Amino acid sequence: MPLTVKAYAKLNLMLDILSALPNGYHDLFMVMQSVSLCDLVTLTENDSGELTLTCDNPQIPAGEGNLAHKAATLFFEETGLPFSGLHIHIEKQIPHAAGLAGGSADAAAVLVGLFRLCGKTPELRELIRLGAKLGSDVPFCAVGGLMLAQYTGTVLSCLPPLPFGKIVIVKPDCAVSTGEAYRAFDTAERIRHFDRAGMLASVMQGDLDGVCRRIDNVFEQFIDVPERVVIKGVMRRHFAQSACMSGSGPSVFGIFETEADAEAAAAELRRSFKNVFVCDCVGRGCEIL
């Protein structure tokens, strides 16, 4: 029986980089939220003895180059569970190279789905350990909801959910390489850091205004996405409580109190941009259907 897993996208409500680490990674402070924009990852066991992967978006690597393929290989290597053959199919809705962790979400969905197919309930620690071997956003995507991710993104703390209204996400027609974004941080002369303690206090107090005032992304200081100003302007005109870039961009999200404001902003943005999504916050990173 095929098993389908929803792989939810993530937004960074706060993304600060504290320092570059000697191993080439970065010490991060990220408040992350899962949203209902998702890919569908279907796992079908077979007797071929092979691991195969297809994706409905030809721009995404099929086969071994796909992070979801790497996740399945890692799963069987690390757990030692018997492998007879598997096909993975991905229906892509999350734009790629967009700062929304689409690849990481697919990889996390494969890990979660394979544990289910093998009849095992993984300890959270095990899921996070495996995810961290695949990429810094994978552990968050495997757990999801609202979380603080620290160090390289792999040290996670659960945060209480916030009563957000609607979210609008716009992906402008350009791609940002995450590697280049970090290199831009490494060579930046001055960095403005954020009120991290204030953000956490606001989250813990359920102070939505306080959270929205503090939403920020350090990459906005040195990743140039010309459309960002226009997108934020439209969102603000439609009463967005906050508008910010996610990850290393270029996607921009806005938080709206009412569905009517979110839909009005989305309608205006769709006149200029192809990829505009209205979605909700969700309390998990993956969901088995």
Q: Is 102 in the site for ligand ATP (CB under 6 A)?
A: yes
CB–CB of 113/41 below 8 Å?
yes
Separation of alpha carbons 158 and 145, rounded Å? 8
N-term to C-term CA, the chain: 12
Among 35, 37, 101, 110, indicate the residue that binds ligand ATP (CB under 6 A): 101
State how far the Cα of 17 lies from the Cα of 5, in Å rounded to an integer.
32
Helix pair 102-117, 67-79: axis angle to 10 deg: 40
CA distance 244 to 167: 11
| 10 is an active site residue | yes
Among 38, 43, 88, 98, binds ligand ATP (CB under 6 A): 98
Taking CB under 6 A as the rule, does residue 154 contact ligand ATP? no
d(CA 247, CA 19): 16
Q: Does residue 143 interact with ligand ATP by CB under 6 A?
A: no
The owner of tokens 């001055």 is: 190
Residue from 60, 147, 168, 223 that binds ligand ATP (CB under 6 A)? 60
- Is residue 113 a contact point for ligand ATP (CB under 6 A)? no
Is there binding between residue 178 and ligand ATP (CB under 6 A)? yes
Binding mask 223-262 for ligand ATP (x = CB under 6 A): ------------------------xx--------------
Contact status, residue 130 vs residue 78, Cβ threshold 8 Å = yes
Question: Of the residues 106, 137, 216, 261, which is catalytic?
Answer: 137
The CB-of-131 to ligand ATP minimum distance in angstroms stands at 12
CB of residue 162 to ligand ATP, shortest distance in Å: 21
Nearer to ligand ATP, 169 or 212 (CB): 169
Give me 133's structure tokens.
């071997």
Beta bridge partners of 43: 3, 88
Of the listed pieces 90-98, 212-220, 221-229, 262-270, which binds ligand ATP according to CB under 6 A?
90-98
Decide: 249 and 271 in contact? Cβ < 8 Å: no
Candidates 15-23, 97-105, 160-168, 219-227: pick the segment binding ligand ATP (CB under 6 A).
Answer: 97-105
CB of 156 to ligand ATP, least distance (A): 15
Q: Determine if 103 is a binding residue for ligand ATP (CB under 6 A).
A: yes
DSSP 214-247: H-EEGGGGT---THHHHHHHHHHHTT-SEEEE-T
Binder to ligand ATP among 33, 34, 66, 217 (CB under 6 A)? 66
Q: Which stretch binds ligand ATP (CB under 6 A): 44-52, 66-74, 119-127, 199-207?
A: 66-74
Q: How far apart are CA 143 and CA 257, in angstroms?
A: 26
Q: Give the nearer residue to ligand ATP in terms of CB position, either 92 or 214.
A: 92
Tell me how far, at minimum, the Cβ of 73 lies from ligand ATP, in Å.
13
Report residue 27 as tokens: 């010490």
Tell me the C-alpha distance between 266 and 171, whole Å. Answer: 12
Beta strands in 21-85 (DSSP E): 26-45, 51-55
Contacts to ligand ATP by CB under 6 A: 60-61, 66-68, 90, 96-104, 106, 137, 178, 247-248
Annotated active-site positions, please?
10, 137
